Amino acid sequence: MTTTSVRPYPHIQKDTVDKFPAPLLYIGWEDHLMFCAPFCLPLPPTLKFGDMLAGPLPGVFGAHPDFAKIDWSAAEWFKSGKAWKPDVNKTLAENGLGHKDVIRFRTPGLHGLNGSCN
């Protein structure tokens, strides 16, 4: 059912990709709720996945004492909640990531401050 209205309802899709400097990617770190929510980042589709891990991510998640201990080769990834394997040598676009996709990662052995998921 569409929106009930007296006249035809306008289709205003406010956040289409053309309105942003780069497509948005949402990214969350499991078991680390010190960061209250997943992040929203505009990232160029040509950025290599590995470069994202080395570049923007430390600025985003680096304040957590666990961050420096991450072994990225052991990280488990999820896309829209389903297990997923990114290729670090491929770009975000080549990894199939599009505007407003949501990914999250789990870092085995690292479960937040004293293992409290914080």
Partner 1 sequence: MDMKVKQKKLNLKDRYNLMTRDLDWEPSYQKKSDIFPYLAYEGIKIHDWSKFEDPFRLTMDAYWKYQAEKEKKLYAIIDAFNQNNGHLQVTDARYINALKLFLTGVSPLEYMAHRGFAHVGRQLGGAGPRVACLMQSLDEIRHSQTQIHSMSNYNKFYNGFQNFRHQHDRVWYLSVPKSFFDDAVTAGPFEFMVSIGFAFEYVLTNLLFVPFVSGAAYNGDMAAMAFGFSAQSDEARHMTLGLEMIKFILEQDPDNLPIVQRWIDKWFWRGYRVLTLVAMMMDYMLPKRVMSWKEAWETYAEQNGGALFADLARYGITVPAGWTQACKDKDHISHQAWATFYNYGAAAPFHTWTPSESEMEWLSAKYPDTFDKYYRPRFEHWAKEAAEGKRFYNTTLPMLCQTCQIPMVFTEPDDPTKIAYRESDYSGMKYHFCSDGCKGIFDHEPEKYIQAWMPVHQIYQGNCFTPEADPSAPDFNPLAEVLKWYRMEMGRDNLDFEGSQDQKNFKAWRDLATAN
Q: Does 88 bind partner 1 (CB under 8 A)?
A: no
Count of residues making up the chain: 118
Taking the least distance from each CB to partner 1, the nearer of 63 and 89 is: 63
Distance CA 64, CA 70 (A): 11
Site for partner 1 in 43-72 (CB under 8 A): 59-60, 63
Torsion angle, alpha carbons of 87, 90, 95, 100, to 10: 120
Report CA torsion sign: 41, 49, 116, 66: negative
Stretch that binds partner 1, among 47-55, 69-77, 85-93, 106-114 (CB under 8 A): 106-114
Closest by CA to 73, choosing from 98, 105, 40, 95, is 105
The binder of partner 1 chosen from 47, 53, 75, 102 (CB under 8 A):
102
Q: Does 21 bind partner 1 (CB under 8 A)?
A: yes
Least distance between partner 1 and beta carbon 21 (Å)? 7
Distance CA 80, CA 66 (A): 24
Question: Which residues of this protein are in contact with partner 1, per CB under 8 A?
Answer: 1-6, 9-16, 19-21, 24, 26, 28, 30-31, 33-42, 59-60, 63, 80-81, 99-102, 104, 112-114, 116-118
